[in-house]
Amino acid sequence: MSLSDAARAARENAYAPYSNFKVGAALRTPSGAVFSGCNVENVAYPEGTCAEAGALAAMVAAGETKLSEVYVIADSLEPVTPCGGCRQKLAEFGAPDLKVTMATTAGREKSMTLAELLPGAFSQSHMDNT
């Protein structure tokens, strides 16, 4: 299944009664496997989770921890960009040159690397103090 199709399908199941903004995400790993997720909101608003977080959780639950490509889709005028927190979550498992494609349901797409989306990402090396 293409990442686009997987993300679109996951988006259909998004639970977004508060924002009414459904998002779908799909990830491919080096093994070729595809994992998808959708946003899951909560009446206690900060407890809601993004589509990217759901897809990453599915990947890790399946025993994989490397990303080779990411796709995010929403019904927006401009391709939807991952929030700041999700950029850092993607950086946990993706290299700086990871391709992230952002899309609209109408078919607009824009691709950027993770390094472009999150310059200066916090990393393990920042915790070195010797």
State the catalytic residues.
52
The least distance separating ligand THU from the CB of residue 127, rounded to whole angstroms, comes to 27
> How far is residue 123's CA from residue 119's CA, in Å, rounded to a whole number?
11
The least distance separating ligand THU from the CB of residue 89, rounded to whole angstroms, comes to 10
CB closer to ligand THU out of 56 and 80: 80
Nearest CA to 87 out of 76, 75, 74, 102 is that of 102
CB closer to ligand THU out of 16 and 112: 16
User: Looking at beta carbons, which pairs linking 115-119 to residues 24 or more positions away fall under 8 Å?
Assistant: 117/81, 117/82, 117/87, 117/90, 118/84, 118/87, 118/88, 118/90, 118/91
CB closer to ligand THU out of 48 and 115: 48
Query: Which residues are bridge partners to 71 per DSSP?
Result: 26, 101
> How far is residue 85's CA from residue 19's CA, in Å, rounded to a whole number?
18
Per-residue interface string for the shown chain with ligand THU, residues 18-57, x marking contact by CB under 6 A: -x-x-x---------------x-x------x-xxx-----
Position 71 contacts ligand THU (CB under 6 A) = no
Residues found near ligand THU in the complex (CB under 6 A)? 16, 19, 21, 23, 39, 41, 48, 50-52, 72, 80, 82-83, 86
